[in-house]
Structure 1
């Protein structure tokens, strides 16, 4: 009798978990291409240099940026800081997720490290339905794997470079570089690049104009 009740409870738990996951990942958006991201309208001079940007319809400063527009040292530092196995995983670094979970438990429920890959961060930034919950994390994981199936690594990096938050209504490394340092991201010093790598983790607290 007890075994039967236990098996029945397991069945109900399995059904609940399946339903929970199905609802969490329902209606995932399509994987965006870098060209699909809304960016600020700009005025250029005859040589193609930026004269004046305008905010997007949502009031954001977000400028188009390609990998070739950014100092390679910044890219190397970004991957080393955020996602050392970026080129090896399929959107989710399960080792980092397990480590983050163990650290969370060991620290008494305090977040020590997030475990999110660059692809998962792009998934969170590109999906307006995201929130800070277990369902949102499951959705983020599913969307990250969808991004990896549809895009190559350079495209995912380009999306991050355009969407990463840099404080206030500033989004993307190019808008941040021009706003905070008055220069294109191809001309960043090592110290400036290091700041812009770390800033999206806590953009309001770390922004250099405060």
Structure 2
């Protein structure tokens, strides 16, 4: 499935649900073989592909950020959950255990830290009923963005020059630059300056910036 176009989010969720059910079929029986890294890595690769297609992300996204955005459990926790269910544990107990372990991993990870700043609590994100993740929202939440400098890095374009300003290192989302030459995009990362304009005096705070981009993307 392509990142832009293709099935909409509900259809992607349905396809992922079917694929996940197939992947975890009879997991309590074969869960013991996942102690071997080779077998577990094979299952992880399938799970990662599902998550990437669901959230329309670049392949360069970290595993931790990809799982957080997609809401797809780390495959080892999914397998363990199936096994615990076969041993008589309640779904509530299993859910609480899985979420606790997953949250701990998310907090201790060194990857996907931009995404962690925006989504520190996985439970709140997972339980959000109105969240919609598309291609542009994913790029914002992962700090990748559909930027010329990023595409140039992987030789997808001929130049890193921004299409909307004169900064070759511009890191502001394209949709936020169109028709907005009077304001200044400020990121929370000093080493990654954003798009700066000659007449821009307005500095958006974190809260207002988040709302603006949720509306625009």
| TM-score where L is the length of structure 2 | 0.27
Higher relative contact order (CA 8 A, sep 6+): 1
| TM-score where L is the length of structure 1 | 0.28
